[in-house]
Amino acid sequence: MHFEGTPVLERFVLDYLQRVGALTEQVSYATLEVLLPEDVNEYFGEEQLRLVFDYEVAEETEGSLFITHGSSFLDKTVESILQNYGHFTVRYWSGPIPELPRNFEQKILANLEFRRCRPPKVRMYVVEECVFYGFNFRCTFRSHEKSEELVTIVLNGSNGQVQTKFFESWQKNIPAEEREYTLPRARLLPLDRLYQIACQNAEQATQIWAEKIMTQGAWQKKKELAKIAGYYGELAAEIQKKLAGTEDLKKKARLEQQLSATLVDRERREKDAAERYGVEVDISLDHVVAYYIPCLWVKLELAHKDQVRAFTVLFNPLSNEIETPVCERCERQTFSLVPEQDGFVCPECSVGN
């Protein structure tokens, strides 16, 4: 998987096709020729496809399939991942349907700040089944040594928020293989959008791993460079000594060529050593786990001046925490919210700050 240079939707489809064993070729801008393996072409109904990810190109390309959100091919791709792909696992919440904690309003006050508002009151709440997707990426690091790590990014499928402490809470739950409850399903973001967010976070995580590997190899790199410098330094000093001790022009010219070649060889060896201790990373989606958890959408009433404003928060019974809301203007997570005309925003986005 390459994170740069390829649009997200195209990358999502290409990653899926490569994982199922399809042969793919980028024949022109936003145009992909695909030869599907036999067990997959029965599912899609064709063996050879020409997929186009640009509307204008699709209009000009006869016999092509335009791939966009809501297109038939993309829907089948997602369906194949969720139902037919062996590296997709489902886990369910076990236990009774959760209820709103009695001290919820106090919990709100302890965790969130609503500026210029009276303390919030709970107006109503609904319980819906939320899906938390665990994207597991296999990361191969190639440096002076080769290593592999499994990087897991868990997202709330309803809003795409990263769940950094998900497994601390999930370990306390004994998952069920089937639903033990009947609830409406919460809204879901498109899977390719969630995949994009997961990729971005996996890239950040692998960067941290790469920096650790470079730090661990720094002393070895320094030691090898010092060895190279010592060897070629002694060799160059010996040649320079011979140069200083001869008046023979032919011999001088030969020694000067030898000295120049030594310096070039030293530069090449140092460059090779530096590159060897750099880090190359290959990332591929290994498997996905969907965690189905009943969550509470709680609608709050907040008095601001002579108005009564509404704001909805998500309570996760697994972690027993209120999910950090986002600014309705910049979409960044924030613990402090300020009422504005276009909704509740973070202090940085607030006109009056």
- Give the pLDDT confidence of 236-272 residue by residue, as tens digits: 999 898 888 888 888 889 989 999 999 999 999 988 8
DSSP code of residue 119:
P
Helical spans, DSSP H, in the chain = 8-19, 38-44, 55-60, 72-79, 104-111, 166-170, 191-244, 249-276
pLDDT at 209: 85
pLDDT digits (tens, 9 = 90+) for 282-312: 888 888 888 999 999 999 999 988 899 999 9
CB 326 within 8 A of CB 312: no
Q: What whole-number distance in Å separates Cα of residue 74 and Cα of residue 66?
A: 10
Question: CB neighbours (10 Å) of residue 296?
Answer: 21
User: How many degrees, rounded to 5, is the angle at CA 276 between CA 273 and CA 282?
Assistant: 165
Both tokens of 152, joined, read: 């897991």
Both tokens of 107, joined, read: 């919990």
pLDDT at 12: 77
pLDDT at 183: 93
What is the residue whose two structure tokens read 């001046």?
A: 305
pLDDT digits (tens, 9 = 90+) for 44-94: 888 888 999 988 888 888 888 898 876 788 877 776 765 554 456 788 998
pLDDT at 81: 66
- Nearest partner of 286 among 75, 145, 86, 147, judged by Cα: 86
pLDDT at 114: 95
Residue type, 164: T
Q: Flag whether pLDDT at 279 surpasses 90.
A: no
Q: How far is CA 27 from the centre of its chain?
A: 28
Burial class (CB in 10 A: 0-12, 13-18, 19+), 96: exposed
What is the arithmetic mean of pLDDT over 147-161?
92
Burial class (CB in 10 A: 0-12, 13-18, 19+), 75: exposed
Residues 6+ apart with CB under 8 A from 165: 319
Three-state SS at 350: coil
Three-state SS at 14: helix
What values do phi and psi take at 75, rounded to 5?
Answer: -60, -40
pLDDT digits (tens, 9 = 90+) for 189-223: 888 788 889 988 998 999 888 888 888 888 888 88
Rg (CA), the chain: 29
What is the arithmetic mean of pLDDT over 26-53?
85
Sign of CA dihedral 22, 133, 54, 69: positive
Q: Using 50, 70 and 90 to split pLDDT, how confident is the model at 117?
A: very high
pLDDT digits (tens, 9 = 90+) for 304-341: 888 999 999 999 999 999 999 999 999 899 999 999 98
- Nearest partner of 190 among 297, 69, 277, judged by Cα: 69
Residues 6+ apart with CB under 8 A from 291: 91, 92, 93, 131, 132, 133, 134, 154, 166, 170, 175
pLDDT at 5: 42
CA distances from 278 to 139, 145, 228, 264, 347 (A): 16, 10, 18, 21, 41
CB 137 within 8 A of CB 150: yes
Q: Flag whether pLDDT at 129 surpasses 90.
A: yes
pLDDT at 278: 80
